[in-house]
Structure 1
Amino acid sequence: MTATIHSLPRKAEPSLEPLMTLVADGLNSVNTVILDRMQSRIPLIPALAGHLIAGGGKRLRPMLTLASAALLEYGGNRHHKLAATVEFIHTATLLHDDVVDGSDMRRGKKAANIIFGNPATVLVGDFLFTRAFELMVEDGSLKVLRILSNASSVISEGEVDQLTAQRQIETSEERYLSIINAKTAALFAAACRIAAVVAERPEADEMALDAYGRNLGIAFQLADDAIDYDSDAAEMGKDRGDDFREGKMTLPVILAYARGDAEERKFWEAAIIGHRTSDADLDHAIALIGRHDAVEATRERARHYAARAVDAIAHFPKSDAKAAMIEAAQFAVARRY
Structure 2
Amino acid sequence: MALVLPFEPNEPSIEALVALVKADMERVNATILARTGSDVAMIPEVANHLISSGGKRLRPMLTLACASLSGYRGDGHVKLAASVEFMHTATLLHDDVVDESDMRRGKLAARKLWGNEASVLVGDFLLGQAFKMMVEVGSMTCLDILATAACVIAEGEVMQLAAAKNTATSEDDYLAVIRGKTAELFAAACEVGAVLGQRPKAEQAACRSYGMNLGIAFQLVDDALDYGGSQAKLGKNVGDDFREGKITLPVLLAFRRGDASERAFWQRCLEKGEGNDADLDQAIGLMTRHRAIADTVERARHYGAIAKDALALFPNGQAKDALMEAVDFCLSRAH
TM-score range with shorter-chain normalisation?
Answer: over 0.9
Superimposed CA distance per residue, residues 64-113 of structure 1 (whole angstroms, 9 cap, x where no aligned partner): 00111111121211100000000000000000000000001000110000
Superimposed CA distance per residue, residues 247-286 of structure 1 (whole angstroms, 9 cap, x where no aligned partner): 1000000000000011100100111124432110100000
Corresponding position of 1:281: 279
Corresponding position of 1:87: 85
The whole-number CA distance in structure 2 between the counterparts of 1:324 and 1:51 is 29
Corresponding position of 1:7: none
Deviation at 1:201, TM superposition (A): 1.1
Deviation at 1:329, TM superposition (A): 0.4
The whole-number CA distance in structure 2 between the counterparts of 1:235 and 1:335 is 8
Out of 297-306 and 135-144, give the one that drifted further.
Answer: 135-144
The whole-number CA distance in structure 1 between the counterparts of 2:194 and 2:233 is 35
Deviation at 1:179, TM superposition (A): 0.5
The whole-number CA distance in structure 2 between the counterparts of 1:185 and 1:319 is 25
> Unpaired runs of 5+ in structure 2?
1-7
Query: Could you tell me whether the CA contact under 8 Å between 1:136 and 1:144 is conserved in 2?
Result: yes
With structure 1 as the length reference, what TM-score do the two structures score? 0.96
Three-state SS of the structure 2 residue aligned to 1:228 is: helix
Corresponding position of 1:328: 326
Q: Which one-letter code corresponds to 2:329 in the other structure?
A: F
Percent of paired sites with the same residue: 57
Query: Could you tell me whether the CA contact under 8 Å between 2:245 and 2:273 is conserved in 1?
Result: no
Query: Could you tell me whether the CA contact under 8 Å between 1:215 and 1:308 is conserved in 2?
Result: yes
Superimposed CA distance per residue, residues 111-152 of structure 1 (whole angstroms, 9 cap, x where no aligned partner): 000011000000000000100111111111111110000000
**Structure 2 counterparts to residues 204-219 of structure 1, below 5 A:** 204-219=202-217
Superimposed CA distance per residue, residues 213-252 of structure 1 (whole angstroms, 9 cap, x where no aligned partner): 0000000000000000011223321011110011100000
Deviation at 1:200, TM superposition (A): 1.1
The whole-number CA distance in structure 1 between the counterparts of 2:35 and 2:218 is 28
How many residue pairs match? The answer is: 328
Deviation at 1:312, TM superposition (A): 0.3
**Structure 2 counterparts to residues 161-240 of structure 1, below 5 A:** 161-240=159-238
Corresponding position of 1:3: none
Deviation at 1:154, TM superposition (A): 0.1
Deviation at 1:336, TM superposition (A): 4.1
The whole-number CA distance in structure 2 between the counterparts of 1:191 and 1:263 is 44
Query: Could you tell me whether the CA contact under 8 Å between 1:15 and 1:331 is conserved in 2?
Result: yes
The one of 293, 299, 302 equivalent to 2:297 is 299
Deviation at 1:11, TM superposition (A): 7.5
Corresponding position of 1:251: 249
With structure 2 as the length reference, what TM-score do the two structures score? 0.96
Out of 272-281 and 250-259, give the one that drifted further.
Answer: 272-281
C-alpha distance 99-233 of structure 1, shift in aligned 2 (>3 A): same
The two structures, once aligned, show a CA RMSD in angstroms of 1.1
- Misfit runs of 4+, over 4 Å: none
Corresponding position of 1:43: 41
**Structure 2 counterparts to residues 94-113 of structure 1, below 5 A:** 94-113=92-111
Q: Which one-letter code corresponds to 1:289 in the other structure?
A: M
Q: Which one-letter code corresponds to 2:302 in the other structure?
A: H
Q: Are 2:138 and 1:145 aligned?
A: no
Deviation at 1:334, TM superposition (A): 1.3
Query: Could you tell me whether the CA contact under 8 Å between 2:268 and 2:275 is conserved in 1?
Result: no
